[in-house]
């Protein structure tokens, strides 16, 4: 039974992409949509991220409140761009003409396009970053950075940060539940109430973080962390041929964005 479980685990690891590939893919994709800010291209990539999430079965671990906040924030970004952008052809007026008064607040086609570009790009960056964090093993990521000749002390700082993010999120939920049990409900209506909520939430989390950092420091010192220039790893990441193909395709995507931004592919730019 153990051998079968080990074989399944090894086959699962071989089916995964290299952590460095995921890291470079995240950077290159974000760079590509920054070079060529198109809402159509960003929408295609966003749908692709959602499909990858569905296929891999990865879970972001975000609740309905956070998802609602992200959607509302994206809609606000869209509305702000629609209201402040005056370039382009006028599509409609939010305040129609009544008699001799009006119309006011014009909405242009360029404003709508710009609003869609910024809001969809925001969602793409957030969800692709969460997908990277969810599907990447921090330990294998640390070993991958050492392959780039990065000192393991720096790579493990990133690993510790990734390890502590879910822990701090859980403790944040515990602090809020404790406050509700004592009759303190978070309220963000007004600056004074917002500062009060931040104070009641921030200081317990700060005390908990400092205590955990101290315990982690003592544990690392007791195990001799940093005493040697090099270290060994129980699990190692391996670069496969499929990782090279995927990296080549992603690099081609960035080159395509450069060509589109320089208007070297006008026929393709019509659709993207």
Each residue's pLDDT tens digit, 234-262 = 777 888 889 999 999 999 999 999 998 88
Task: Give me the pLDDT at residue 14, please.
Answer: 44
Q: What is the pLDDT of residue 79?
A: 92
Q: Are both 53 and 102 inside the same structural domain? A: yes
C-alpha distances in Å from residue 89, one per residue of 15, 37, 106: 50, 20, 9
Does 52 have pLDDT greater than 70?
Answer: yes
> Could you list the residue range(s) of the whole structural domain that residue 173 is in?
150-236
| Residue 128 sits in the same domain as residue 182 | no
Q: Does 46 lie in the same domain as 115?
A: yes
Identify whether residues 172 and 200 lie together within a single domain.
Answer: yes
Model confidence band, residue 174 (pLDDT cutoffs 50, 70, 90): confident
In a domain, 144, yes or no: no
The C-alpha angle with vertex 5 and arms to 246 and 9, in degrees rounded to 5, equals: 15
Higher-pLDDT residue of 120 and 213 is 120
Residue 121 near residue 91, CB atoms below 8 Å: no
> From CA 111, how far away is CA 159, in angstroms rounded?
41
Q: Average pLDDT, stretch 217-227?
A: 74
Q: Give the tokens for residue 158.
A: 């990133």
* Residues pairing with 173 in the sheet: none
Same domain (yes/no): 117, 164? no
Residues 122, 253, single domain; the answer is: yes
Instruction: Specify the number of domains making up the chain.
Output: 2
Residue 203 predicted with pLDDT over 50: yes
Give yes or no: residues 164 and 230 share one domain: yes
Residues 226, 265, single domain; the answer is no
Residues 6+ apart with CB under 8 A from 12: none
Nearest by Cα to 247 from 236, 239, 258: 239
**21 and 129 share one domain:** yes
104: helix, coil or strand?
strand
Higher pLDDT, 45 or 13: 45
Q: Token pair 């395509």 is at which residue?
A: 256
Residues 90 and 123 in one domain: yes
CA distance 12 to 9: 5
Summarize the chain as % helix, strand, coil (round to 5). Answer: 70, 5, 25
| Longest Cα separation, the chain | 83
In a domain, 5, yes or no: no
More confident residue, 129 or 1: 129
pLDDT band at residue 190, thresholds of 50, 70 and 90?
Answer: low
In terms of domains, do 123 and 193 share one?
no
Q: Is 52 a member of any domain?
A: yes
Q: Is 77 part of a structural domain of the chain?
A: yes
What DSSP designation does 58 have?
Answer: -
Residue 75 domain flag = yes
Assess whether pLDDT exceeds 60 at residue 5: no
Report the pLDDT value the prediction gives residue 137, as an integer from 0 to 100: 83
Q: Is residue 115 part of a domain?
A: yes
């Amino acid at each position: 039974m153990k051998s079968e479980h080990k074989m399944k685990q090894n086959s699962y690891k071989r089916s995964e992409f290299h952590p460095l590939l995921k890291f470079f893919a995240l950077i290159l994709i974000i760079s590509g949509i920054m070079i060529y800010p198109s809402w159509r291209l960003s929408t295609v990539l966003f749908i692709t991220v959602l499909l990858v999430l569905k296929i891999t079965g990865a879970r972001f671990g975000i609740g309905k409140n956070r998802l609602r906040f992200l959607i509302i924030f994206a809609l606000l970004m869209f509305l702000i761009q629609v209201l402040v952008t005056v370039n382009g052809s006028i599509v409609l007026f939010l305040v129609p003409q009544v008699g001799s008064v009006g119309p006011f607040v014009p909405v242009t086609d360029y404003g709508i396009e710009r609003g869609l570009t910024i809001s969809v790009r925001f969602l793409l960056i957030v969800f692709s970053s969460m997908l990277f964090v969810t599907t990447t093993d921090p330990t294998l990521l640390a070993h991958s950075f050492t392959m780039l000749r990065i000192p393991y002390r720096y790579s493990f700082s990133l690993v510790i940060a990734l390890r502590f993010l879910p822990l701090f999120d859980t403790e944040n939920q515990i602090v809020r539940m404790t406050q509700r049990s004592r009759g303190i409900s978070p309220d963000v209506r007004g600056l004074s109430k917002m500062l009060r909520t931040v104070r009641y939430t921030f200081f317990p989390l700060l005390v908990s973080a400092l205590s955990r950092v101290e315990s982690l420091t003592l544990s690392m010192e007791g195990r001799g962390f940093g005493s040697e220039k090099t270290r060994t790893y129980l699990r190692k990441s391996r670069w496969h041929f499929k990782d090279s193909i995927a990296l080549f395709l992603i690099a081609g995507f960035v080159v395509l964005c450069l060509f589109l931004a320089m208007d070297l592919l006008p026929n393709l730019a019509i659709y993207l």
